[in-house]
């Protein structure tokens, strides 16, 4: 574990990630951004810290735009009280056939068969299970969150977590999760290798 993770906080962790992954760290005080390149494809994974006036209102947002070749969308999050209430009020819960995974997570999507194929991938499932919490989705031009508003035909892979993440190892694992998810979306024909015009 990197020393800065526990001593100097999340900004130093992001600076170290920028150094390790040859990325870009921008601190303009009102919005802090870390932009990391994909190793082989023209995608970037962008970390942003959104503050809402108080430290308690801070939200970590990780976004990766991509050119969409298919309208496939999904959302996955932990099965907790709020999400369980959402199921009661009719939000679709897609079961992938893995009892433990289906118990621990709520998965939604606009193409159930594609969702099952996507989350049946052992590497994706294991990467998600390694996270202490997960709130991962694909948003399109009809959505707007945290100032992120992609144009038509470009989507954004989006991870959101309340608060800041001080751990170098956790931030690294989230970068790798985004990286591997984009790769798998490309393998399934959902994400193009074309460079997205939209930048977060």
Residues 6 or more apart from 186 whose CB is under 8 A from it?
Answer: 41, 192, 193
Q: What percent of the chain has pLDDT over 90?
A: 70
Is pLDDT above 60 for 146? yes
Is pLDDT above 70 for 74? yes
Residue appearing with tokens 């694992």: 173
If pLDDT is split at 50, 70 and 90, which confidence band does 91 have? very low
Q: What is the pLDDT of residues 112-141, one digit of tens each?
A: 899 999 999 999 999 999 999 999 999 999
In the chain, where the domains are located:
3-187
Is pLDDT above 50 for 90? no
Q: What is the pTM of this model?
A: 0.89
If pLDDT is split at 50, 70 and 90, which confidence band does 81 have? very low
Residues 6 or more apart from 147 whose CB is under 8 A from it?
Answer: none
The mean predicted confidence, pLDDT, of the chain is 87
CA–CA dist 79, 113 (Å, integer): 21
Q: What is the pLDDT of residue 117?
A: 93
Is pLDDT above 60 for 84? no
Is pLDDT above 80 for 4? no
Q: Are 139 and 148 in contact (CB under 8 A)?
A: yes
């Amino acid at each position: 574990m990197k020393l800065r993770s526990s001593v100097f906080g999340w900004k130093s962790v992001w600076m170290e990630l920028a150094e390790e992954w040859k990325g870009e760290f921008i601190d303009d005080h009102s919005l802090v951004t870390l932009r990391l390149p994909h190793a082989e494809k023209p995608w970037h994974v962008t970390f942003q810290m959104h503050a809402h006036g108080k430290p308690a209102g801070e939200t970590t947002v990780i976004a990766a735009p991509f050119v969409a070749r298919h309208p496939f969308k999904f959302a996955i999050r932990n099965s907790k009280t709020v999400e369980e209430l959402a199921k009661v009020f009719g939000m679709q819960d897609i079961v992938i056939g893995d009892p433990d995974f289906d118990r621990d997570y709520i998965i939604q999507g606009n193409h159930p068969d594609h969702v099952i194929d996507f989350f049946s991938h052992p590497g994706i499932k294991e990467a998600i299970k390694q996270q202490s919490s997960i709130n991962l989705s694909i948003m399109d031009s009809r959505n707007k969150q945290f100032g992120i508003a992609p144009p038509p035909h470009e989507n954004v892979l989006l991870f959101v977590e309340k608060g800041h993440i001080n751990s170098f190892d956790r931030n690294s694992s989230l970068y790798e999760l985004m990286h591997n998810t984009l790769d798998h979306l490309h393998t399934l024909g959902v994400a193009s290798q074309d460079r997205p015009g939209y930048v977060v």
